[in-house]
Each structure stands twice: as structure tokens, then as C-alpha cells.
């Protein structure tokens, strides 16, 4: 058993994860050093403890047969959603969101762990429904599974974590064989909803002047007229499709105007649920100077830190932006900024390389696994890892919105670290069993 386990243990994934976690601990330690060289934080000690426990969790899950999780997927998903409801009413406020549970200094973020249960349950549903003749119904039910945890997390409100569920769903739905037009409907609808939500804030905070076209979004009556118009055109398209089933133009008319109508409706509620400062964080990267001392401060200081690193960096513990406390949330959201300042372009490239190997390894597992449940789990993890990496690194470079999404394996935090390591354990379990390891 021991020999067989070692034979199929994924050392590539293991060493990449350990390397990233080690880098994370080093720069969490660096983030606690002040301008006088004195360590003012014990976060790195907590991270070492969490990482040690996380490695044990990862190895333990890799030894389990992932196929056994399928029968319990629904129960744990319902339980996780129940915990999210409890968190909404009795959770602890952290950074403007009631998204934490804990006693004293110890806490967990249920929305992080819920990602795993969401992936497992969605994978189970998509596998069981793969022979469904009604793909539209299949897509709608899968969408309902997405909306439950995503909606509960948005109510906290934690926009960054909620957004992660979106790419997970898109990748899993595509791999599961749901028609591309349905996947693109959700993708384009989601993008339009975000655009319609942020445009009013962009007009007032970034543009600094009135834009006539945006009055449609700020005036409730004009918005209502537009929604009715778009919905009516979509209905006409659907009626035309019924009477002329071979005419594709009616289908695409209903498809296009239906997306616009839905985006207008959801963006209205999005503007009510999300706070102004949260929406502003999504767009301030377009012009950080519009709020130099507010939402734009993070991006400006992060870009200074990354730019000052040059090729090989200032040297470990010799960064200025972090040690003089110019970087906010420097041990979590902006950990990559510290790494780039002290290890330079070479350090950033190392992180890129390690993530690239992990993502390629996941794709290899997906392509070489015969079990549909396993393929879908790996696909969801691929979407999650890719989104976390691209958004966090893009955020600190000033080319993507600030969403508060951590850089997995490097950022400080036990919940995100254990979630990521549990996912690696699942990948190892899937990868080993494609070779027949039981």
C-alpha cells in the first residue's frame, strides 16, 4: 500500500504548492517588519501552523477515494449554505462584510470552504444530468445551484468571494457539455450586469461630468421604460421563433435583447446591495489618481512597489513600501507586491512559473481521467485557481479591479489556504485513481 501510494503520489503538485506556501510565509514575515527592522506581527507563525495542518489535510484527502464524496455532495452543500445563512446574521464584521465566524482571535470564513462543497455538488448534478435531452432545463437548474451560495455571499456583502463562484461555474458547465450559447449567455449577461452597475459610479467618480447615455441607468423611469422595451422585443423574438422555427434571426433577437433586459434588472438590484465604495473599487483602476488617498491609494502604492523591484529586487527584508506601511492589506491582497519589490521580476516570474505548472498539471489530470465526476471536480478547481491568480496579480499591477481576492497559497489566511490545499488533495486523489490506485 505504501509503495503503491508513493508510486502514484503527485510530487509535481506537492512541490509546487510547498514552494508557493514557503514563499508566502517568507513575505508574510517581511510584511510584519517595520521601518526600524522590528517585527510587529505574529502572522507568519499562524501561517506556518495553518500550512502544516493544510499539508496534512491535503495528504489525507489525497488518500481518500474522491468518488465517495459524490453520495454526500448534496448534504454537505445544504449544510454549507445553512452556515452561510447563519454567518449573514451572526457572523463577525471584517472589512465591511459579515463573512466570518469565530471565537476571540480565531475565525474561519465559511464562504471559502463552501467553494469545495459547491464544486462537489455541481459536479454531481452535471454528471447525473449529462444524458438529459433538455439542455435548457439542465442549464437552468445548474444556474440555480450557483445562485444560492453566490447570492448568500453577496448579501454579506462579500463581492470578491462571490465573484469566484462565477468562473468555477462557467468552466464546469462548458466541460460538462452544456451548449456554448447558454454558457455565453451567462458570461455576457454577467459582464453587462457589472458594466451597468458601475457606470453611474464611473460617471460621478471617474469621469467627473454628466454623460447623457448614463441617465438611462440613473433615472428609474427611463430604466423601467428600457427594460420593458428590451423585454418586449425579446418576447416578439420568441413568438417569431415559434411560428418560424427555421428562422434563426428570431432566436438571436430573443437571445440578445433578453440578455440586455436581464442585465438591466440585475444591475439595479446590484446597485442596491453593493456599497458605493465597493463599486468604486471595481473601477478606480481606470484612473487611480481620481482618488489618490482613497480607493486609488492601494493601486498607486502597489505599482510603486512592483516597479521599484527591477530585475532582482531590493533584497529580502529590504523593501520600503511594506516596511513603511504604504501598502494596505500587504500580507493578504497585496502579498505579490512585496514579493516583487524584494525579489524583483525574477521572483514574480518564479510565482508565475509555479502557477503555470499547477494549472498545466490540472489540465493533464482532466484530459487523462475517465470518470466524469472527477473531470468536473478538476475543472471547477482549474477555474477557481486561474481566476484567483489572474485577478489578484492583475489587481496589484493596476490592470484589473480591486476585489479583495487573495493569491492562493501565498496570501495570509487559514481559510483560503486550507481550501486551496483541500483542492490539491482532491486533484491528487483524482490523478492517482486514473492509474488504478485504490
Residue 229 reports pLDDT greater than 70: yes
* pLDDT interval class at 188 (50, 70, 90): very high
Residue 1: pLDDT over 50:
no
> For 318-371, what is each residue's pLDDT tens digit?
888 877 877 777 888 899 999 999 999 999 999 999 999 999 999 999 999 989
- Closest to 424 measured CA to CA, from 358, 375, 356, 344: 358
The number of residues in the chain equals 438
Q: What are phi and psi of 288, to 5 degrees?
A: -60, -30
Residue 203 DSSP symbol: I
Residue 437 predicted with pLDDT over 60? no
Q: pTM for the whole thing?
A: 0.90
* Distance in angstroms (rounded) separating the CA atoms of residues 122 and 377: 9
How is the chain split among helix, strand and coil, in percent rounded to 5? 75, 5, 25
Residue 105's pLDDT band (cuts 50, 70, 90): low
Mean pLDDT, residues 75-103 taken together: 84
How far is residue 170's CA from residue 186's CA, in Å, rounded to a whole number? 8
How many CB atoms are located within 10 Å of the residue 42 CB? 10
pLDDT at position 138: 94
pLDDT score, position 436: 47
- Other C-beta atoms closer than 10 Å to the C-beta of 35 total 10
Q: What is the Cα–Cα distance from 421 to 58, expressed in whole angstroms? A: 5
d(CA 344, CA 354): 16
The percentage of residues in the chain with a pLDDT greater than 90, rounded to a whole number, is: 53
CA 313 from chain centre, in angstroms, equals 29
pLDDT tens for 136-149 read 899 999 999 999 99
Among the ranges given (90-104, 160-174, 330-344), the one the predictor scored with the smallest mean pLDDT: 90-104
Distance, C-alpha 274 to centroid of its chain: 17
Cis before 397? omega within 30: no
Instruction: Summarize the confidence of residues 155-179 as an average pLDDT.
Output: 91
Q: Determine contact, residues 115/168, Cβ cutoff 8 Å.
A: yes
Contact between residue 379 and residue 265 where contact means Cβ atoms under 8 Å apart: no
pLDDT of residue 173: 95
Is the Cβ–Cβ distance between 422 and 57 less than 8 Å? Answer: yes
Q: Confidence band (pLDDT; 50, 70, 90) for 74?
A: very high
Does residue 176 register a pLDDT over 80?
A: yes
Angle at 166 between CA 253 and CA 216, to 5 degrees: 50
For residues 265 and 282, which has the higher predicted lDDT (pLDDT)? 265
Lookup: cell for 69: 464524496
Side-chain-facing half-sphere of 255: CA atoms under 13 Å: 16
Which secondary structure element, helix H or strand E, spans residue 99, and what is its range? strand 97-103
Contact 111, 130 (CB under 8 A): no
Over 60: is that where the pLDDT of 403 sits? yes
Helix ranges (DSSP H) in 294-404: 295-308, 335-367, 372-397
Determine the average pLDDT of the residues in 10-34.
Answer: 93
Distance CA(305)–CA(284), nearest Å, equals: 18
Share the mean pLDDT of the chain.
Answer: 87
Give the pLDDT of residue 131: 86
Amino acid at each position: 500500500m505504501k509503495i503503491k501510494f508513493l508510486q502514484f503520489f503527485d510530487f509535481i503538485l506537492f512541490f509546487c504548492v510547498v514552494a508557493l506556501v514557503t514563499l508566502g510565509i517568507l513575505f508574510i514575515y517581511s510584511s510584519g517588519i517595520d521601518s526600524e527592522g522590528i517585527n510587529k506581527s505574529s502572522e507568519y507563525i499562524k501561517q506556518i501552523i495553518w500550512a502544516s495542518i493544510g499539508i496534512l489535510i491535503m495528504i489525507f484527502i489525497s488518500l481518500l477515494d474522491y468518488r465517495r464524496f459524490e453520495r454526500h455532495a448534496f448534504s454537505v452543500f445544504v449544510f454549507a449554505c445553512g452556515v452561510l445563512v447563519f454567518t449573514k446574521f451572526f457572523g463577525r464584521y471584517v472589512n465591511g462584510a459579515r463573512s466570518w465566524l469565530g471565537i476571540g482571535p480565531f475565525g474561519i470564513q465559511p464562504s471559502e470552504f463552501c467553494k469545495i462543497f459547491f464544486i462537489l455538488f455541481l459536479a454531481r448534478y452535471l454528471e447525473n444530468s449529462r444524458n438529459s435531452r433538455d439542455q435548457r432545463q439542465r442549464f437552468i437548474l445548474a444556474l440555480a445551484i450557483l445562485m444560492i451560495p453566490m447570492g448568500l455571499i453577496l448579501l454579506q456583502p462579500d463581492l470578491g468571494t462571490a465573484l469566484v463562484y462565477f468562473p468555477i461555474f462557467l468552466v464546469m458547465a462548458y466541460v460538462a457539455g452544456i451548449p456554448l450559447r447558454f454558457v455565453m449567455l451567462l458570461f455576457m449577461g454577467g459582464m453587462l450586469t457589472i458594466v451597468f452597475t458601475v457606470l453611474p459610479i464611473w460617471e460621478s467618480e471617474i469621469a467627473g461630468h454628466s454623460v447623457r447615455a448614463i441617465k438611462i441607468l440613473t433615472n428609474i423611469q427611463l430604466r423601467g421604460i428600457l427594460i420593458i422595451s428590451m423585454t418586449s422585443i425579446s418576447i416578439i423574438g420568441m413568438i417569431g421563433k415559434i411560428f418560424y422555427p427555421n428562422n434563426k434571426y428570431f432566436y438571436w433577437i430573443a437571445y440578445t435583447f433578453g440578455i440586455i433586459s436581464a442585465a438591466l434588472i440585475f444591475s439595479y438590484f446590484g446597485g442596491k446591495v453593493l456599497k458605493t465604495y465597493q463599486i468604486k473599487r471595481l473601477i478606480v483602476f481606470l484612473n487611480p489618481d481620481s482618488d489618490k488617498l482613497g480607493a486609488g491609494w492601494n493601486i498607486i502604492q502597489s505599482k510603486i512597489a512592483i516597479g521599484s523591484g527591477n530585475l532582482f529586487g531590493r533584497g529580502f527584508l529590504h523593501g520600503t513600501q511594506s516596511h513603511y506601511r504604504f501598502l494596505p492589506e500587504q500580507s493578504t491582497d497585496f502579498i505579490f507586491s512585496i514579493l516583487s519589490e524584494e525579489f524583483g521580476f525574477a521572483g514574480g516570474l518564479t510565482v508565475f512559473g509555479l502557477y503555470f505548472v499547477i494549472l498545466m498539471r490540472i489540465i493533464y489530470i482532466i484530459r487523462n481521467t475517465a470518470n466524469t465526476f472527477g473531470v468536473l471536480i478538476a475543472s471547477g478547481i482549474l477555474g477557481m485557481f486561474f481566476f484567483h491568480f489572474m485577478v489578484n496579480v492583475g489587481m496589484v499591477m493596476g490592470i484589473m479591479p480591486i476585489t479583495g481576492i487573495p493569491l492562493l497559497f501565498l496570501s495570509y489566511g487559514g481559510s483560503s489556504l486550507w481550501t486551496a490545499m483541500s483542492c490539491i488533495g482532491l486533484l491528487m486523489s483524482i490523478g492517482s485513481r486514473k492509474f488504478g490506485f485504490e
